[in-house]
Structure 1
Amino acid sequence: MGWPIIVVPFLNANGMALFPFILVKEKSMKRDVALINHEKIHLLQQAELLVLPFYILYLLNYMINLIKYKRHYQAYLNIAFEREAYANETNMGYLNKRKYYNWLRYFN
């Protein structure tokens, strides 16, 4: 699927999925296939949860992780949605074979 990619120079991350858009910090990042694949995985996660529940679960998972790990970056890296996306961002065939709700496998 051709998700619109928008350059947002003031973005605090290299990329972000904000359904139905992929936001990137710099124009050159539009060609970063791993980054774009990572964000596409998030878009599918958002779609299967009907968007709003995704953000609620994402935030809840982050807050629990923050209590557990005591550090922002560790808490972020251990969000189930991020774990799935990072684990599969370089697998360009992943989106074609991904099972629905596969992010559930990444809760720790």
Structure 2
Amino acid sequence: MILVSKYIVPKGYMGIALFPFVFVKELQFKHNNFFVNHERIHLKQQLELLVVPFFIWYGLEFLVRYWHFRNWHLAYRNISFEREAYQNELDLGYIKKRPIWNFLKYLCRP
């Protein structure tokens, strides 16, 4: 379910996936198929890791990436979950053919 809420979405972002919802900052993002696909990839990742471990892993990986890059944006873009979502957001059939735990192949890639 996609909900519009400018208060839940962090400043500087268009949306956020919090299983089982996708929150978007503005109504226009709700109708952007590629953006919605990106967030649905995150919902699938969250489901695979039983939600809470996903957020723990996400946060820890962000901290490691931030320590490595010393740049918020680079750290965010290099989180394995984000790498998978950004690389496959244009493939609207990706979720149906996505192998389980596929984000792991993005974990150690340079």
Pairwise TM-score range, normalised by the shorter structure: over 0.9
Give the Cα separation in 1 of the matches to 2:64 and 2:70. Answer: 10
* Runs of 5+ consecutive residues of structure 2 not aligned to the other structure: none
Give, in angstroms, the shift of residue 72 of structure 1.
0.3
Give, in angstroms, the shift of residue 79 of structure 1.
0.2
Partner-residue secondary structure (3-state), 2:99: coil
Residues 1:9 and 2:6 aligned together? yes
Aligned residue pairs, count = 105
**Residue-by-residue CA offset, 1:80-106 (whole Å, 9 max, x unaligned):** 000000000010110110000000000
Partner-residue secondary structure (3-state), 2:104: helix
Partner-residue secondary structure (3-state), 2:90: coil
* Runs of 5+ consecutive residues of structure 1 not aligned to the other structure: none
Residues 1:24 and 2:24 aligned together? yes
Q: Percent identity?
A: 46
Structure 1 runs (4+) greater than 3 angstroms displaced: none
Residues 1:58 and 2:58 aligned together? yes
Structure 1 equivalent of residue 37 of structure 2: 37
Give the Cα separation in 2 of the matches to 1:45 and 1:37. Answer: 12
Give the Cα separation in 2 of the matches to 1:103 and 1:87. Answer: 11
Superposition RMSD in Å = 0.7
Taking structure 1 as the reference length, the TM-score comes to 0.95
Taking structure 2 as the reference length, the TM-score comes to 0.93
Q: Which amino acid aligns with 2:3?
A: I
Structure 2 equivalent of residue 106 of structure 1: 106
